[in-house]
Chain A
């Protein structure tokens, strides 16, 4: 099974900051990667798919990059509503998809 490793596991930042979360795959997955945001008590929300394509309705301050084994999610100017947990997911190994362990973004 393909393992997805996110770093850091948690991150403290302030409103207005630029933050980057990294996701590494245990083998090459081309660009078959998605990013999700989850707030407490809520279902995950799709932010980015195909490594860098913004889902409809997602603010442009979110961006994704990478291919192969290394990927990043960047939030360019943190807003209060962005404090949440973020997960990457590979969908290369159809349909046995796997998620990263999550990165909790907290207010400093």
Chain B
């Protein structure tokens, strides 16, 4: 069955960096675009970034553009999110999510990893 398992969250000071990972299994990872979505405590869902199945194109929300980098290693079935210059407002649970075959909806999500930016 499809599984997405995030890791790498934690507490980091403002201005610091963190790299999140999302280990995928149960499907052909190299055939699907992948997203990162975040949710601040008590708030709604915010789309963060997308990478095409082959890593050829990457897209970012304006709120993270220039600070975050999405990447993937299809040989390791793993998605990454490198987060630099972190701010308090980046505090959130970060989810990786897989697109369906034929639509842009997200049919599988990881359990999330919490990133806390605080001094």
A36–B62 alpha-carbon span in the complex (Å): 23
Q: Which applies to chain A's interface (DSSP): helix, strand, loop or mixed? A: loop
> Nearest CB to that of A99 among chain B residues?
B45
**What distance in Å separates the Cβ of A9 from its nearest Cβ neighbour in chain B?**
10
User: Which residue of A is nearest B110, CB measured?
Assistant: A43
Is A55 a contact partner of B107 (Cβ separation < 8 A)? yes
Residues A46 and B107 in contact, CB atoms below 8 Å apart: yes
Interface flags for A79-107 (1: CB within 8 Å of B; 0: not) read 00000000101010011111111100000
Produce 1/0 per residue, B76-119, CB < 8 A to A: 00000000000000000001000010011111011110000000
Interchain nearest-CB distance for B105 vs A (Å): 4
Q: Which chain B residue lies CB-closest to A34? A: B105
Please tell me the number of chain B residues within 8 Å of chain A, measured between CB atoms.
21
Inter-chain contact count A-B, CB under 8 Å? 64
Kindly state the separation between the CA atoms of A71 and B66 in the bound complex, as whole angstroms. Answer: 34
Does A44 touch B at the CB level, under 8 Å?
yes
Q: Is A75 an interface residue (CB 8 A)?
A: no
* Residue from B33, B62, B103, B107 with most neighbouring chain A CB atoms (10 Å): B103
Q: For chain A, residues 2 to 55, give those with C-beta under 8 angstroms from any C-beta of chain B.
A: 32, 34, 36, 38, 42-46, 49-50, 55
| Residue interface bits B35-77, CB-to-A below 8 A is 1, else 0 | 1000000001111001000000001011000000000000000
B contacts, CB < 8 Å to A: 33, 35, 44-47, 50, 59, 61-62, 95, 100, 103-107, 109-112
